[in-house]
Amino acid sequence: MPAPAPVAPAPVTAPAPAARQGWLDRLKAGLRKTGSSLATVFTGTQIDDALYEELEEALLMADTGVKATEHLLKDLKRRVKEAKTTEPGQVKALLAEAIADLLRPLEKALVIGEFTPTVIMVAGVNGAGKTTSIGKLTKHLANEGASVLLAAADTFRAAAREQLGVWADRNTVEIVSQEGGDPAAVSFDAVTAGKARGKDVVLVDTAGRLPTQLHLMEELKKIKRVVTKADGSAPHEVLLVIDGNTGQNALAQVRSFDDALGLTGLIVTKLDGTAKGGVLAAIAQERPIPVYFIGVGEKLEDLETFNAREFAQALLS
């Protein structure tokens, strides 16, 4: 069998404008809980200290964190002064711009095709949405013509292997899985197989763990080392999946996993129905790791590329 032609390096892009509009509506709906308390701040008739105090409180309640809240208030006051704004409604629009500017460093596309395969390791706490996001991402990649191999390195529970297997079947991609196997060994086999079979992407699903479970964090480091043994340039991406509902706790996870593994990107899930969507601002302020994708639901199409302006506007719409 001839080796498949390598895909040229390309960002995993956003869908066509019509589909993007549908996504924007879902994003707005998803962020409504976070946004509604922010929006009520601007329903008064004056721009006064009370407005800024209310805004500070609303930002903190949305888990924006003290530092990012301080930064946003200062930046907003400067913008209000510059624009000589007198309408609270206009202040809201200026806040959207301030938030977009703060979040912009998080905007980055996941690029595949530079390496064959591009090896992507996925980590996070239990239930954050790792396996679901991998399933959605596989679909995304397959749509763009990339061949994907899944590695079931969450070997603790049979159910976890089966869950990934369902996503593999649904997307008709291959999976490397081993009953009761060692997660590092499964990852090694998958990367080796990905190279031999000329796959474009190998996605490694790992078991959930807390940063405080030091032996499990060591295991994760071992998986990373062993992946490098299978392919000297891998892993090309180390992604952390965080549950947007966990607010400031998610920020703590970003810090710990980054210290342990050196993260290259984030996937933020469950932004639908959360009142803590401000956490992205806290991440931008304190540990600006690119957000490749955000999730606003359980369906396949509910994972999309992150855009700072869209996010800020959806938040304050």
Ligand X SMILES: Nc1nc2c(ncn2[C@@H]2O[C@H](COP(=O)(O)OP(=O)(O)O)[C@@H](O)[C@H]2O)c(=O)[nH]1
SS3 304: strand
* Contact letters for ligand X, residues 118-137 (x by CB under 6 A): ------x-xxxxxxx-----
Q: Using CA atoms, how far apart are residues 193 and 190, in angstroms rounded to an integer?
A: 5
- The tokens describing 289, both together, are 């790791």
164 contacts ligand X (rule: CB under 6 A): no
| Tokens read off for 195 | 């190279």
Asked if residue 297 binds ligand X (CB under 6 A), the reply is yes
In the complex, residue closest to ligand X by CB: 295
Please, what's the b/e burial string for 252-286 (b: 16 or more CB within 10 A of its CB; e: otherwise)? ebbbebbebbebbbbbbbbbbebbbbbbbbbbbbe
Give the Cα separation of 176 and 178 in Å (integer). 7
Q: Which of 122/315 has CB closer to Mg ion?
A: 122
Reduce the DSSP state of residue 54 to 3 states and report it. helix
User: Quick one: what does residue 277 bind among ligand X, Mg ion, none, with the CB cut-off 5 to 8 Å set by partner type?
Assistant: none
DSSP symbol at 46: -
Nearer to ligand X, 76 or 128 (CB): 128
Q: Count interface residues toward ligand X (CB under 6 A).
A: 18
Q: How far is the CB of 279 from Mg ion (least distance, A)?
A: 21
Question: Is 259 among the residues that bind ligand X (CB under 6 A)?
Answer: no
Report the site for ligand X in 203-232 (rule: CB under 6 A). Answer: 208
192 and 141 in contact (C-beta within 8 Å)? no
Q: Name residues contacting Mg ion, limited to 127-166 (CB under 5 A).
A: 130-131
> Binding residue for ligand X (CB under 6 A) from 183, 194, 277, 295?
295
Binding interface with Mg ion (CB under 5 A): 130-131
Q: Which residues bind ligand X (CB under 6 A)?
A: 124, 126-132, 208, 241, 269-270, 272, 295-298, 302
